[in-house]
Amino acid sequence: MAVLIRNKPLLILASSFLAFAVGFNIKLTTMVYYFTYNVHRKDLVFMGTLLFFGAALISNIFIPSLSKKWDRKNVMMISAALSLISYVGLQFTAYSSIPLILFLLFVSGFFTTPLNTLAWGMLADCVDYAEWKTGIRADGVVISSMSFTNKLGVALAGSFSAFFLNKAGYVPNVAQSVSSLQAIKDMNAIIPGIFILLSVLLISFYPITENRYKKMMKELEQKR
């Protein structure tokens, strides 16, 4: 337990990742509702999903080189900040503007992905930090805590989506009310954006820079 409690970088990383996971999964959960009821183009669900995850795959190609150039924390913050443009843009895009909606989905997938990919990569830093801080190398405990955080994010996103839709008066397979349509749009755009913003704010406090990590590893090598 001390490995987790005394591991400040892990606590910050896990908190940031939890915010990301909640926002990301709220968007995934409601994308089908958005195309079905708001856009009235259920046939575009597959295309939207393909663009979103296709953008994520493309983004992963650039992450290693960008991380070496600008530091992983900076890449996370910059890319997430850019992704916020797509979430805000989608909030104010007309449902008839199909090309723009699909473009914004691609942009959000591309710039949101580093928050996920780099978080798992930075987990190794937290393992080394725990050993440096406590003298105990607990890879399993640290990795398990992140896996739990991911599952918790998925569960919270599902519960939040169900509660928010129910409160807005959502009824499946019928024409939706103005309030339920607004709720669906909010959960596909501005609400995930708020959680991404929270994720960025939290990761800004992550203390392990590249220089600090190198110094920490030198001290750790001397202790071993």
Instruction: Tell the residue number behind the tokens 């669906």, with chain if given.
Output: 184
Instruction: Tell the residue number behind the tokens 């409601």, with chain if given.
Output: 30
Whether residue 127 lies inside any domain: the answer is no
Neighbours of 96 (CB within 10 A): 10
Whether residue 90 lies inside any domain: the answer is yes
The overall average pLDDT reported for the chain is: 91
Whether residue 204 lies inside any domain: the answer is yes
Top pLDDT among 2 and 110 is at 110
- Collect contacts of 204-211 with beta carbons under 8 A, ≥24 apart: 204/73, 204/77, 205/12, 206/9, 206/12, 206/13, 206/16, 206/73, 206/122, 207/8, 207/9, 207/12, 208/9, 208/73, 208/122, 208/125, 208/126, 208/129, 209/71, 209/73, 210/71
Q: What is the mean pLDDT of residues 95-119?
A: 94
Q: Which class for 221: exposed (0-12), middle (13-18), buried (19 or more C-beta within 10 A)?
A: exposed
Share of the chain above pLDDT 90, in %: 69
pLDDT in tens, 7-59: 889 999 999 999 999 999 999 999 999 999 999 999 999 999 999 999 999 99
Whether residue 144 lies inside any domain: the answer is no
Q: What is the mean pLDDT of residues 202-224?
A: 84
Per the structure block, which two tokens stand in for 220?
Answer: 């750790």
pLDDT in tens, 41-54: 999 999 999 999 99
Whether residue 82 lies inside any domain: the answer is yes
Instruction: Tell the residue number behind the tokens 């807005």, with chain if given.
Output: 168
The residue range of the domain holding 76 is 9-120+153-208
Domain CATH code at residue 104: 1.20.1250.20
Neighbours of 211 (CB within 10 A): 9
Q: How many domains does the chain have?
A: 1
Dist. CA 58–CA 81, nearest whole Å: 18
pLDDT in tens, 133-153: 877 777 788 888 889 999 999
Report pTM. Answer: 0.90
> What would you report as the CA-atom Rg of the chain, rounded to the nearest whole angstrom?
19
Whether residue 146 lies inside any domain: the answer is no
Taking a C-beta distance cutoff of 8 angstroms, is the pair 217, 51 a contact? Answer: no
Q: Which helix (H) or strand (E) holds 76?
A: helix 72-91
Whether residue 213 lies inside any domain: the answer is no
